[in-house]
Structure 1
Amino acid sequence: MDMSTARPVDRYFASYSGDHRNSTNQAIHVVAVPAILWSVIALLWCIPPLLPWFQHGIWAALAMFGTWAYYNRLSRPLGIGMLILFFVAGCVCRLLEDRLGIPMLLRIAIGVFVLAWIAQFIGHKIEGRRPSFLTDLTYLLIGPIWVLAKLFRQFGWHY
């Protein structure tokens, strides 16, 4: 494929894939990237609302909406997939908030965030390449849809 005429999502994936060739690193990313995504949503969920009629989760909802809009612009099918994943992540956060409370949700989110990033850096140590986001912070957003695109390809779905 000629990268000068490729869709932006395909150019991002080509570059991101170049930094993730090792199968062990890829396997780590398939687990750690969604864990990081969920933990960021959960951390945002724990930020208190500024206005009394809002509930916890408003900041996460706003961030998920903005991120979803970006993903949907890159690829409608991946945007729909991420919308579903964001919905599930929000439901998990709401369930944990209800069952365990915000302080415990915050502790879990921090723990998942730290462990998943440690795994990511171990994967890149094995790979022998720097993480893509050290070149361009946009790749922090590309990781989750790169993992989702791998799932799409396994099912033969086009994105």
Structure 2
Amino acid sequence: MRTAQEWLDAYGQSHQNPTNKTIHWICIPAIVMSIFGLLGAVPSPFESPWLHWGTLLAIGAVGYYALISIPLAIGMAAVSGVMLLLVQALAALPIPLWASSLGIFVVAWIFQFIGHKIEGQKPSFFEDLQFLMIGPMWLLAALYRRAGIGY
């Protein structure tokens, strides 16, 4: 398995353009939140509004990140918690959660592809689907570096 730095370096190769980077800073969190929202809108056997399929995906994702880097997994657990809070806020809106989440998902992906057109590089996940998981970690790792936190 690749190290965290190997994953981040490989992902970063197709994310050099400042405009594409800015788009990713906005759209990756939006996509993650929208996926949690879409899964949260699927009926589940759980009685708590906090425990739904999106929550289970978040837990599984943190487990994946823990295989790569414990410090990044801890950060991703916190980020996932914030995203799940945002899903609860979306659920309180007068529009159905699935509809708002789907709208965010589609718009964010459109902008992601625009960013890669500007970059002149295909999205990394065309090479390896695991890069879909690395994008959020890449953003968090950048914050860690700015804060002087090792990973």
**Same fold by TM (over 0.5)?**
yes
How big is the shift at 1:7? 5.6
The aligned residue for residue 133 of structure 1 is 125
Letter in 1 for 2:139: V
Residue 90 of structure 2 corresponds to residue 100 of structure 1? no
Could you list the runs of 4 or more consecutive aligned residues of structure 1 that deviate by over 6 angstroms after TM superposition? Answer: none
The residue aligned with 1:62 is 56
AA matched with 1:119: F
Which has the higher mean CA deviation after the structures are superposed, 87-96 or 67-76?
A: 87-96
Once the two structures are TM-superposed, the CA of residue 55 in structure 1 deviates from its matched residue by 4.2
Of the three residues 67, 77, 83, the one matched with 1:89 is 83
The DSSP-based 3-state class of the residue aligned with 2:96 is helix
Letter in 1 for 2:142: K
Compute the displacement of 1:94 (Å). Answer: 2.2
Give the TM-score of the pair, scaled to structure 1.
0.87
- The higher radius of gyration belongs to 1
Counting matched residue pairs gives: 150
* 1:76, distance to aligned residue in structure 2 (A): 1.2
Letter in 1 for 2:82: V
Q: Can you give the 5+ residue segments of structure 1 that lack an aligned partner in the other structure?
A: 1-5
What SS does the aligned partner of 2:74 have?
helix
Q: How does 1:1-159 map to 2 (within 5 A)?
A: 8-49=3-44, 51=45, 53-56=46-49, 57-97=51-91, 99-100=92-93, 104-159=96-151
Q: Secondary structure at the match of 2:43?
A: coil
Secondary structure of the residue that 1:32 maps to in structure 2? helix
- The root-mean-square deviation of aligned C-alpha atoms, in Å, is 1.7
**In structure 2, C-alpha distance between the alignment counterparts of 1:20 and 1:151, rounded to whole Å:** 16
Q: Gaps spanning 5+ residues in structure 2: where?
A: none
- Percent identity among equivalent residues? 41
DSSP 3-state at the match of 1:100:
coil
Map Cα deviations across residues 15-61 of structure 1 (whole Å, 9 max, x no partner): 11111111111111111111111111111110001x3x534542111
1:39-86 deviation digits (Å, cap 9, x = unpaired): 11111110001x3x5345421111111111011221111111111111
Partners of 2:127 and 2:140 in 1: CA distance: 22
- For the Cα contact (< 8 Å) 2:90–2:100, is it kept in 1? no
State the one-letter code of the partner of 1:93: V
Output the TM-score relative to the length of structure 2: 0.92
